Amino acid sequence: MKPPYDGQVAVVTGGSSGIGLATVRLLLEQGATVALCARGEGRLRDVTAVLQRDHGAERVLARAFSVLDADAVNGFAAEVQQAFGRCDLLVNNAGQGRVSTFADTDDQAWREEYELKLFSQINPTRAFLPMLREARGAIVAVNSLLAYQPEPHMVCTASARAGVQNLLKSLSIELAPEVRVNSILLGLIGSGQWTRRFAAREDQSVSREDWYADLARKKGIPLGRLGDPAEAAAAIAFLGSRAASYITGAQLEVSGGLSRHI
């Protein structure tokens, strides 16, 4: 049996760490050729060296830039077209959360957050859409459970995430039947901000396992733990694959049961 992504080309934004990197690794393992981008050139260079060693230099293309730079994104798409001739899957993963309340979020912070969340979807989608249409491919966006279940300490991010989810639903209709558009909704995943918060914990004697378990209890996660980036990557790979060929406009929660809405 062929690997699910055999002969296909995937593009992953924010691909040098966390969920993005886990997704890149899984797609490579499943047969894809992968083009990834991220802002940090040093980390991206180190990650790319390992990926090329493990999977072959001809299957990995990496470039450092911000997805908010439309010209850079368009140039990246042109490189992918020249190098591989196609794009079957676009994973829009760039963007982190902003901790703030309404009272302490100023106008500039609102503008920055909305630009990041929306244009990290818009710019790559615009750039890769012709190739995705030709391949009858898929877009999978990494979004947050905050889109449906906002938290008052993340008011700015939550409202922007809701806007992203509305955008994705609209795209799923407009781009059908040529391109499928789906998303995953993340709860608490043990990467990025939570790794940094663990490192800055008050009691440095507390182990990672105990600190995460206590956090899961406080947050009321039914499965009793934070998610692993590889678990989010598995959901992304499924939604982007031919196994999900009749799924579009959908969202798959990867939250350990954290959601309370129906």
Domain with CATH 3.40.50.720 in the chain: 9-187+230-252
- According to the model, what pLDDT value does residue 159 have? 95
pLDDT interval class at 198 (50, 70, 90): confident
- According to the model, what pLDDT value does residue 25 have? 98
Instruction: Say yes or no to pLDDT of 185 above 80.
Output: yes
Lowest mean pLDDT among 70-74, 175-179, 207-211, 226-230: 207-211
- Distance (Å, whole) CA 57 – CA 7: 16
* 110-123 pLDDT per residue, tens: 999 999 999 999 99
Half-sphere exposure of 246 (CA within 13 A, CB side): 0
- According to the model, what pLDDT value does residue 164 have? 97
Lowest mean pLDDT among 35-44, 167-176, 207-216, 228-237: 207-216
Instruction: Say yes or no to pLDDT of 5 above 90.
Output: yes
* 122-131 pLDDT per residue, tens: 999 999 999 9
Q: Has this prediction a pTM greater than 0.85? A: yes
* Residue at token pair 């979004």: 143
Q: Which residue has the higher pLDDT, 239 or 208?
A: 239
Residue 122 backbone zone (phi > 0: left; psi -120 to 50: alpha; other: beta): alpha
Instruction: Say yes or no to pLDDT of 94 above 80.
Output: no
- According to the model, what pLDDT value does residue 208 have? 86
Instruction: Say yes or no to pLDDT of 96 above 80.
Output: no
Half-sphere exposure of 43 (CA within 13 A, CB side): 13
- According to the model, what pLDDT value does residue 100 have? 87
pLDDT interval class at 191 (50, 70, 90): confident
Read off the pLDDT of each residue in 174-188 and give the average, rounded to a whole number: 97
- According to the model, what pLDDT value does residue 179 have? 98
- Mean of all residue pLDDT scores within the chain: 95
The answer to whether residues 136 and 178 touch, using CB atoms and an 8 Å cutoff, is yes
pLDDT interval class at 199 (50, 70, 90): confident
Read off the pLDDT of each residue in 142-150 and give the average, rounded to a whole number: 95
Residues above pLDDT 70, as percent of the chain:
100
* Torsion sign across C-alpha atoms 253, 131, 47, 31: positive
Contacts of 171-175 spanning 24+ positions with Cβ under 8 A: 171/125, 171/139, 172/248, 172/249, 173/249, 175/129, 175/133, 175/139
Give the CATH fold of the 9-187+230-252 domain: Rossmann fold (3.40.50)
- According to the model, what pLDDT value does residue 193 have? 77
